[in-house]
A and B are shown apart, each in its own frame.
Chain A
Amino acid sequence: MKHDDSTILNKYGKDSGFKVPENYFEDFNKKMAEMLPDVEITPVDIKPTMWQRIKPLAYMAAMFAGVWCMMSVFSHFTNPNDMSSVRAVAEKLEDNNSNVEEFIMSGSVSDYDIMSYEDSVMMSNEDVSLPDNQ
Protein backbone atom coordinates (compact mmCIF):
# COMPACT_ATOMS: atom_id res chain seq x y z
CA MET A 1 0.00 0.00 0.00
CA LYS A 2 2.95 2.30 0.69
CA HIS A 3 4.05 2.55 -2.95
CA ASP A 4 0.47 2.47 -4.19
CA ASP A 5 0.81 5.79 -5.97
CA SER A 6 4.28 5.25 -7.43
CA THR A 7 2.99 4.94 -11.02
CA ILE A 8 1.24 8.33 -10.84
CA LEU A 9 4.12 9.86 -8.89
CA ASN A 10 6.77 8.73 -11.41
CA LYS A 11 4.73 9.99 -14.35
CA TYR A 12 3.19 13.23 -13.03
CA GLY A 13 5.19 14.24 -9.95
CA LYS A 14 3.72 16.43 -7.23
CA ASP A 15 3.56 19.74 -9.08
CA SER A 16 -0.09 20.35 -9.89
CA GLY A 17 0.72 23.26 -12.18
CA PHE A 18 -1.26 25.71 -10.05
CA LYS A 19 0.37 29.09 -9.44
CA VAL A 20 -0.39 32.19 -7.36
CA PRO A 21 0.35 35.87 -8.05
CA GLU A 22 3.65 37.21 -6.73
CA ASN A 23 3.61 38.01 -2.96
CA TYR A 24 0.11 36.61 -2.83
CA PHE A 25 0.41 35.11 0.65
CA GLU A 26 2.10 38.18 2.20
CA ASP A 27 -0.64 40.43 0.78
CA PHE A 28 -3.39 38.03 1.76
CA ASN A 29 -2.16 37.70 5.37
CA LYS A 30 -2.02 41.47 5.74
CA LYS A 31 -5.46 42.12 4.20
CA MET A 32 -7.05 39.26 6.09
CA ALA A 33 -5.76 40.47 9.46
CA GLU A 34 -7.10 43.95 8.71
CA MET A 35 -10.57 42.80 7.72
CA LEU A 36 -11.23 40.78 10.90
CA PRO A 37 -14.42 42.12 12.50
CA ASP A 38 -14.63 42.78 16.23
CA VAL A 39 -15.87 39.75 18.10
CA GLU A 40 -16.57 39.12 21.74
CA ILE A 41 -14.08 36.77 23.28
CA THR A 42 -14.84 35.09 26.58
CA PRO A 43 -11.64 34.82 28.58
CA VAL A 44 -10.93 31.17 29.17
CA ASP A 45 -8.46 29.57 31.50
CA ILE A 46 -7.30 26.55 29.63
CA LYS A 47 -6.94 24.01 32.43
CA PRO A 48 -3.65 22.16 32.36
CA THR A 49 -3.89 18.36 32.59
CA MET A 50 -2.98 16.53 35.80
CA TRP A 51 0.37 15.44 34.30
CA GLN A 52 1.17 19.00 33.20
CA ARG A 53 0.54 20.18 36.78
CA ILE A 54 2.62 17.53 38.54
CA LYS A 55 5.35 17.31 35.89
CA PRO A 56 7.73 19.84 37.53
CA LEU A 57 7.31 18.15 40.93
CA ALA A 58 7.89 14.70 39.42
CA TYR A 59 11.05 15.88 37.66
CA MET A 60 12.32 17.50 40.86
CA ALA A 61 11.61 14.35 42.90
CA ALA A 62 13.41 12.21 40.32
CA MET A 63 16.39 14.57 40.41
CA PHE A 64 16.62 14.46 44.22
CA ALA A 65 16.27 10.67 44.20
CA GLY A 66 19.12 10.44 41.70
CA VAL A 67 21.34 12.73 43.75
CA TRP A 68 20.54 10.78 46.93
CA CYS A 69 21.42 7.47 45.25
CA MET A 70 24.70 8.84 43.96
CA MET A 71 25.58 10.27 47.39
CA SER A 72 24.80 7.03 49.24
CA VAL A 73 26.84 4.92 46.80
CA PHE A 74 29.72 7.38 46.99
CA SER A 75 29.71 7.53 50.82
CA HIS A 76 29.41 3.73 51.05
CA PHE A 77 32.80 3.30 49.38
CA THR A 78 34.59 6.26 50.91
CA ASN A 79 33.48 6.35 54.60
CA PRO A 80 36.62 5.44 56.69
CA ASN A 81 34.49 4.49 59.72
CA ASP A 82 32.64 1.77 57.90
CA MET A 83 35.39 -0.65 56.91
CA SER A 84 33.45 -3.89 57.39
CA SER A 85 32.62 -4.31 53.73
CA VAL A 86 36.20 -3.55 52.71
CA ARG A 87 37.47 -6.12 55.21
CA ALA A 88 35.05 -8.76 53.91
CA VAL A 89 36.32 -8.21 50.38
CA ALA A 90 39.94 -8.47 51.57
CA GLU A 91 39.22 -11.76 53.42
CA LYS A 92 37.54 -13.18 50.36
CA LEU A 93 40.58 -12.30 48.29
CA GLU A 94 42.86 -13.97 50.85
CA ASP A 95 40.77 -17.17 50.71
CA ASN A 96 41.05 -17.20 46.96
CA ASN A 97 44.83 -16.79 47.25
CA SER A 98 45.16 -19.75 49.64
CA ASN A 99 43.18 -21.96 47.23
CA VAL A 100 45.52 -20.96 44.47
CA GLU A 101 48.53 -21.78 46.62
CA GLU A 102 47.12 -25.23 47.42
CA PHE A 103 46.60 -25.86 43.75
CA ILE A 104 50.15 -24.84 42.97
CA MET A 105 51.42 -27.04 45.75
CA SER A 106 49.53 -30.06 44.42
CA GLY A 107 51.52 -29.76 41.22
CA SER A 108 54.73 -30.43 43.17
CA VAL A 109 53.59 -33.88 44.47
CA SER A 110 55.31 -36.58 42.44
CA ASP A 111 53.89 -39.95 41.30
CA TYR A 112 56.20 -41.73 43.66
CA ASP A 113 54.75 -39.82 46.61
CA ILE A 114 51.25 -40.73 45.55
CA MET A 115 52.09 -44.46 45.15
CA SER A 116 53.84 -44.68 48.51
CA TYR A 117 50.83 -42.90 50.11
CA GLU A 118 48.48 -45.48 48.55
CA ASP A 119 50.68 -48.36 49.79
CA SER A 120 50.67 -46.96 53.30
CA VAL A 121 46.88 -46.71 53.23
CA MET A 122 46.55 -50.34 52.05
CA MET A 123 48.92 -51.53 54.76
CA SER A 124 47.01 -49.79 57.47
CA ASN A 125 43.74 -51.30 56.15
CA GLU A 126 45.22 -54.79 56.32
CA ASP A 127 46.36 -54.13 59.91
CA VAL A 128 42.86 -53.11 60.81
CA SER A 129 41.25 -56.23 59.24
CA LEU A 130 43.57 -58.79 60.94
CA PRO A 131 41.74 -59.05 64.29
CA ASP A 132 38.48 -60.01 62.47
CA ASN A 133 40.18 -63.04 60.78
CA GLN A 134 41.46 -64.44 64.01
Chain B
Amino acid sequence: MAAREKYDEAQVVEQLHDPKLCKVAFGKVIEHYSSQLYWQIRRLVIDHDDANDVLQNTFLKAWTSIDNFRGDAKLSTWLYKIAINESITFVNKKKVMNQLSIDDDDSFLVNQLESDEWFDGDQAQINLQKAIATLPEKQRLVFNLRYYDEMKYDEMSEILGTSEGALKASYHHAVKKIEQLLGETE
Protein backbone atom coordinates (compact mmCIF):
# COMPACT_ATOMS: atom_id res chain seq x y z
CA MET B 1 0.00 0.00 0.00
CA ALA B 2 1.40 3.40 -0.95
CA ALA B 3 2.22 5.67 1.96
CA ARG B 4 -0.30 8.50 2.30
CA GLU B 5 1.10 11.87 1.29
CA LYS B 6 1.38 14.38 4.13
CA TYR B 7 -1.47 16.90 4.04
CA ASP B 8 -0.25 20.50 3.89
CA GLU B 9 -3.30 22.79 4.07
CA ALA B 10 -1.51 25.99 2.93
CA GLN B 11 -0.12 24.19 -0.11
CA VAL B 12 -3.49 22.56 -0.89
CA VAL B 13 -5.32 25.91 -0.68
CA GLU B 14 -2.78 27.40 -3.08
CA GLN B 15 -3.19 24.48 -5.50
CA LEU B 16 -7.01 24.78 -5.35
CA HIS B 17 -6.66 28.07 -7.24
CA ASP B 18 -4.34 26.67 -9.87
CA PRO B 19 -6.43 25.35 -12.80
CA LYS B 20 -3.88 22.61 -13.50
CA LEU B 21 -3.66 21.30 -9.93
CA CYS B 22 -7.07 22.08 -8.47
CA LYS B 23 -8.69 18.68 -9.08
CA VAL B 24 -5.81 16.77 -7.54
CA ALA B 25 -5.77 19.22 -4.62
CA PHE B 26 -9.50 18.78 -4.06
CA GLY B 27 -8.94 15.02 -4.03
CA LYS B 28 -6.59 15.60 -1.10
CA VAL B 29 -9.26 17.72 0.61
CA ILE B 30 -11.79 14.88 0.21
CA GLU B 31 -9.32 12.36 1.59
CA HIS B 32 -8.49 14.57 4.58
CA TYR B 33 -11.99 15.72 5.56
CA SER B 34 -14.39 12.96 4.45
CA SER B 35 -14.31 11.08 7.74
CA GLN B 36 -14.75 14.02 10.14
CA LEU B 37 -17.48 15.58 7.97
CA TYR B 38 -19.24 12.23 7.58
CA TRP B 39 -19.53 11.72 11.35
CA GLN B 40 -20.83 15.25 11.89
CA ILE B 41 -23.45 14.72 9.13
CA ARG B 42 -24.34 11.23 10.36
CA ARG B 43 -25.12 12.51 13.87
CA LEU B 44 -27.52 15.00 12.32
CA VAL B 45 -29.26 12.82 9.71
CA ILE B 46 -28.80 9.51 11.63
CA ASP B 47 -29.16 7.14 8.64
CA HIS B 48 -25.96 5.98 6.87
CA ASP B 49 -27.32 6.22 3.30
CA ASP B 50 -28.65 9.72 3.98
CA ALA B 51 -25.29 10.72 5.47
CA ASN B 52 -23.55 9.38 2.36
CA ASP B 53 -25.81 11.48 0.09
CA VAL B 54 -25.34 14.62 2.19
CA LEU B 55 -21.58 14.13 2.27
CA GLN B 56 -21.51 13.86 -1.54
CA ASN B 57 -23.61 17.03 -1.84
CA THR B 58 -21.28 18.79 0.60
CA PHE B 59 -18.18 18.05 -1.48
CA LEU B 60 -19.96 18.83 -4.76
CA LYS B 61 -21.12 22.17 -3.41
CA ALA B 62 -17.64 22.95 -2.09
CA TRP B 63 -16.09 21.99 -5.43
CA THR B 64 -18.47 24.02 -7.58
CA SER B 65 -17.99 27.09 -5.38
CA ILE B 66 -14.25 26.65 -4.82
CA ASP B 67 -13.65 29.89 -6.73
CA ASN B 68 -15.41 31.74 -3.90
CA PHE B 69 -13.06 30.31 -1.29
CA ARG B 70 -10.26 32.86 -0.94
CA GLY B 71 -8.52 31.37 2.06
CA ASP B 72 -9.74 34.08 4.44
CA ALA B 73 -11.25 31.44 6.72
CA LYS B 74 -9.90 27.96 7.46
CA LEU B 75 -10.85 25.33 4.90
CA SER B 76 -12.25 23.12 7.68
CA THR B 77 -14.53 25.95 8.88
CA TRP B 78 -15.81 26.49 5.35
CA LEU B 79 -16.45 22.76 4.79
CA TYR B 80 -18.16 22.31 8.17
CA LYS B 81 -20.45 25.25 7.36
CA ILE B 82 -21.47 23.66 4.04
CA ALA B 83 -21.92 20.23 5.66
CA ILE B 84 -24.14 21.61 8.45
CA ASN B 85 -26.25 23.65 6.02
CA GLU B 86 -26.67 20.64 3.73
CA SER B 87 -27.65 18.43 6.70
CA ILE B 88 -30.23 20.90 7.99
CA THR B 89 -31.70 21.35 4.49
CA PHE B 90 -31.88 17.56 4.11
CA VAL B 91 -33.61 17.02 7.48
CA ASN B 92 -36.12 19.80 6.72
CA LYS B 93 -36.93 18.19 3.35
CA LYS B 94 -37.40 14.85 5.10
CA LYS B 95 -39.75 16.49 7.60
CA VAL B 96 -41.86 17.81 4.73
CA MET B 97 -41.89 14.34 3.13
CA ASN B 98 -43.04 12.88 6.45
CA GLN B 99 -45.73 15.59 6.71
CA LEU B 100 -44.13 17.12 9.77
CA SER B 101 -43.73 20.78 10.58
CA ILE B 102 -40.29 22.39 10.19
CA ASP B 103 -40.61 23.44 13.85
CA ASP B 104 -41.01 19.84 15.05
CA ASP B 105 -37.95 18.27 16.63
CA ASP B 106 -35.83 15.67 14.81
CA SER B 107 -36.75 12.68 16.99
CA PHE B 108 -38.57 11.05 14.03
CA LEU B 109 -35.10 10.34 12.56
CA VAL B 110 -34.21 8.06 15.47
CA ASN B 111 -37.34 5.88 15.21
CA GLN B 112 -35.77 3.55 12.64
CA LEU B 113 -32.46 3.29 14.50
CA GLU B 114 -33.12 -0.11 16.08
CA SER B 115 -33.55 -1.72 12.67
CA ASP B 116 -30.67 0.22 11.07
CA GLU B 117 -28.08 -2.09 9.50
CA TRP B 118 -25.29 0.38 10.33
CA PHE B 119 -26.12 0.87 13.98
CA ASP B 120 -24.97 -1.59 16.59
CA GLY B 121 -25.51 0.43 19.74
CA ASP B 122 -27.49 -0.79 22.75
CA GLN B 123 -30.74 0.59 24.19
CA ALA B 124 -28.82 3.18 26.25
CA GLN B 125 -27.22 4.59 23.09
CA ILE B 126 -30.61 4.68 21.34
CA ASN B 127 -32.03 6.59 24.32
CA LEU B 128 -29.12 9.05 24.16
CA GLN B 129 -29.64 9.62 20.41
CA LYS B 130 -33.38 10.11 20.99
CA ALA B 131 -32.65 12.66 23.72
CA ILE B 132 -30.19 14.53 21.47
CA ALA B 133 -32.72 14.54 18.62
CA THR B 134 -35.32 16.30 20.77
CA LEU B 135 -33.03 19.28 21.35
CA PRO B 136 -33.55 22.53 19.43
CA GLU B 137 -31.43 22.66 16.25
CA LYS B 138 -28.68 24.94 17.58
CA GLN B 139 -28.31 23.04 20.86
CA ARG B 140 -28.16 19.77 18.95
CA LEU B 141 -25.38 21.08 16.71
CA VAL B 142 -23.41 22.49 19.64
CA PHE B 143 -23.81 19.28 21.64
CA ASN B 144 -22.63 17.08 18.76
CA LEU B 145 -19.64 19.29 17.92
CA ARG B 146 -18.55 19.59 21.54
CA TYR B 147 -19.39 16.19 22.99
CA TYR B 148 -18.37 13.91 20.10
CA ASP B 149 -15.86 16.02 18.13
CA GLU B 150 -14.47 17.89 21.18
CA MET B 151 -14.38 21.01 19.04
CA LYS B 152 -13.09 24.20 20.70
CA TYR B 153 -15.64 26.96 21.25
CA ASP B 154 -13.68 29.52 19.19
CA GLU B 155 -13.71 27.22 16.15
CA MET B 156 -17.39 26.41 16.73
CA SER B 157 -18.07 30.14 16.93
CA GLU B 158 -16.61 30.65 13.44
CA ILE B 159 -18.68 27.80 11.99
CA LEU B 160 -21.99 28.65 13.63
CA GLY B 161 -21.56 32.45 13.72
CA THR B 162 -22.46 32.63 17.42
CA SER B 163 -20.46 34.07 20.31
CA GLU B 164 -18.44 31.71 22.49
CA GLY B 165 -20.47 32.70 25.56
CA ALA B 166 -23.75 31.84 23.82
CA LEU B 167 -22.30 28.50 22.67
CA LYS B 168 -21.20 27.61 26.22
CA ALA B 169 -24.68 28.45 27.47
CA SER B 170 -26.24 26.34 24.68
CA TYR B 171 -24.04 23.38 25.58
CA HIS B 172 -24.90 23.74 29.26
CA HIS B 173 -28.65 23.81 28.51
CA ALA B 174 -28.30 20.86 26.10
CA VAL B 175 -26.52 18.75 28.73
CA LYS B 176 -29.11 19.58 31.38
CA LYS B 177 -32.00 18.72 29.02
CA ILE B 178 -30.41 15.44 27.98
CA GLU B 179 -29.77 14.47 31.60
CA GLN B 180 -33.37 15.29 32.44
CA LEU B 181 -34.75 13.32 29.46
CA LEU B 182 -32.55 10.33 30.19
CA GLY B 183 -33.57 10.48 33.86
CA GLU B 184 -37.21 10.30 32.80
CA THR B 185 -36.53 7.37 30.43
CA GLU B 186 -34.87 5.24 33.13
Does chain A bind chain B? yes
Residue ranges of A at the interface with B (Cβ–Cβ < 8 Å): 1, 4-5, 7-9, 11-12, 14-21, 25, 28-29, 32-33, 35-37, 39-44, 46
In the complex, how many angstroms separate the beta carbon of A69 from the nearest chain B beta carbon? 34
Q: Is B17 located at the chain interface by the 8 A CB criterion? A: yes
| Contact A32:B119 (CB < 8 A) given known A25-B34, A46-B13 | no
Q: Chain A residues near B140: list those with CB within 8 A.
A: none
How many residue pairs, one in A and one in B, have C-beta atoms under 8 Å apart?
A: 109
Partner of A4, one of B71, B171, B182: B171
* A to B CB contacts below 8 Å, 13 in the list: A8-B147, A15-B121, A18-B42, A18-B118, A18-B119, A18-B121, A25-B38, A32-B30, A40-B19, A40-B67, A41-B22, A46-B17, A46-B70
Main secondary structure of the interface of A (DSSP, over half): loop
In B89-122, which residues have CB < 8 Å from any A CB? 118-122
In B14-60, which residues have CB < 8 Å from any A CB? 14, 16-19, 22-23, 26-27, 30-31, 34-35, 38-39, 42-43, 48, 52, 55-56, 59-60
